């Protein structure tokens, strides 16, 4: 069996291009550009790279990006005041707080301070609650990107046995909800799952988001399975995924590569969410 590689790069580029076109149309009607405020606290190297990718994507999409690079000593009050200020700003449609935050800053009250309409990461309890109820307004970018890839490659999940490995609030849980909303039969596994392979062996589609390098190996999945690898780990300057990409060749039906699969879709979906927030705020929503 030849394993199909499910690339995300081209789809991400095309998605950003589409956003750029919509922004241009709106500008031609005399509207202001969409605005995205990105808050980065501290100097975490991976976070700096992610933020710069987001800023580059904004440039391509015609979205005005406003970067707030704050020192690691930033206090809770300073964060909450900045968010209050950004909530009030007319030209700011989206507010993103790059995670993880330094240990002294509790992410929950900070995310809860963001106006849900500007919550382009989709992490606010109101947006998460809506997602749980099947109202997919502001959906977290990585799971949304995975769903866009499923659609692009015509992979149907309705009625399928699927396994999500990883149960974080930003990837695993919202992804599981999106899959339930599409009527898949979903099993969620995590660090306390006793026998991971016993679950993955029964799945037609496996979504993995743990950050554990090569956790998912050939002997753990049935022949012909489809694997969406969301994990990212850095091993000696190489970026690797949760799945043993080489070992699964010729065994899996299809697999997303790391890098170049789900990763670029996350940034593209951030542009889509910012455009959606903008359209609601400037009254372009039909
Ligand atoms: P997290 O650390 O918050 O959560 C990891 C999850 O994996 C937890 O639920 C944990 O229980 C589970 N887990 C850990 N080890 C496990 C094991 N051995 N077996 C089963 N489950 C296990 O991480 P996160 O923020 O959800 O991110 C997960 C991965 O996805 C990371 O590698 C991260 O870098 C990557 N990520 C990628 C993108 C992207 O755009 N591609 C976006 C966000 C996160």
CATH 3.40.50.10860 domain locations along the chain: 30-115
Give residue ranges with CB within 6 A of ligand 1. 142, 165-168, 170-172, 189-191, 193, 196, 209-212, 215, 230-233, 262-263, 266
3 state DSSP class of 223: coil
Where on the phi/psi map is residue 70: left (φ > 0), alpha (ψ -120 to 50), or beta?
A: beta
121 catalytic, yes or no? yes
Alpha carbon distance 119, 141 (integer Å)? 11
Candidates 54, 118, 144, 173; catalytic one: 54
CATH 3.40.50.720 domain locations along the chain: 141-264
pTM (2 d.p.) = 0.97
98 catalytic, yes or no? yes
Alpha carbon distance 76, 110 (integer Å)? 8
Instruction: Provide the token pair at 231.
Output: 């994990």
Which of the four CATH numbers 3.40.50.720, 3.40.50.1820, 3.40.228.10, 1.10.357.10 does domain 141-264 have? 3.40.50.720
Instruction: Provide the token pair at 34.
Output: 């969409």
Per-residue pLDDT of the chain (286 residues; tens, 9 = 90+): 999 999 999 999 999 999 999 999 999 999 999 999 999 999 999 999 999 999 999 999 999 999 999 999 999 999 999 999 999 999 999 999 999 999 999 999 999 999 999 999 999 999 999 999 999 989 999 999 999 999 999 999 999 999 999 999 999 999 999 999 999 999 999 999 999 999 999 999 999 999 999 999 999 999 999 999 999 999 998 999 999 999 999 999 999 999 999 999 999 999 999 999 999 999 877 5
DSSP codes joined into one string, 42-100:
S--HHHHHHHHHHHHHHHHHTPEEEEEEE-TT--HHHHHHHHHHHHH-TT--EEEEPSS
Alpha carbon distance 107, 17 (integer Å)? 32
Which of the four CATH numbers 3.40.50.1980, 3.30.56.10, 3.40.50.10860, 3.40.50.2300 does domain 30-115 have? 3.40.50.10860
Instruction: Provide the token pair at 239.
Output: 């970026």
Peptide linkage before 181 cis (omega within 30 of 0): no
- Give residue 109 CA to ligand 1 midpoint distance, Å: 22
Alpha carbon distance 280, 117 (integer Å)? 8
């Amino acid at each position: 069996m030849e394993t199909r590689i499910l690339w995300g790069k081209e789809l991400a580029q095309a998605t950003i291009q589409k956003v750029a076109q919509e922004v241009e149309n709106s500008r031609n009607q005399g509207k202001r550009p969409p605005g995205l405020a990105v808050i980065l606290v501290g100097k975490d190297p991976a976070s700096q790279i992610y933020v710069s990718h987001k800023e580059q994507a904004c440039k391509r999409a015609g979205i005005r990006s406003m970067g707030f690079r704050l020192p690691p000593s930033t206090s809770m009050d300073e964060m909450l005041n900045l968010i209050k200020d950004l909530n009030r700003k007319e030209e700011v449609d989206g507010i993103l707080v790059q995670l993880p935050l330094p240990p002294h800053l509790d992410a929950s009250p900070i995310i809860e301070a963001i106006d849900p309409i500007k919550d382009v990461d989709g992490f606010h309890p109101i947006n998460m609650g809506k997602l749980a109820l099947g109202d997919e307004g502001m959906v977290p970018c990585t799971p949304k990107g995975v769903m866009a890839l499923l659609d692009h490659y015509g992979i149907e999940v309705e009625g399928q046995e699927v396994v999500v490995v990883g149960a974080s609030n930003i990837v695993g849980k919202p992804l599981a909800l999106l899959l339930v909303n599409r009527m898949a039969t979903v099993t969620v596994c995590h660090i306390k799952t006793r026998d991971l392979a016993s679950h993955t062996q029964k799945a037609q589609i496996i979504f993995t988001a743990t950050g554990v390098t090569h956790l998912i190996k050939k002997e753990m999945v049935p022949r012909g399975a489809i694997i969406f690898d969301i994990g990212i780990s850095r091993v000696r300057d190489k970026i690797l995924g949760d799945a043993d990409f080489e070992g699964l060749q010729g065994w899996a039906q299809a697999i997303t590569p790391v890098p170049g699969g789900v990763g670029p879709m996350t940034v593209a979906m951030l542009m889509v969410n910012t455009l959606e927030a903008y359209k609601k705020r400037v009254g372009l929503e039909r």
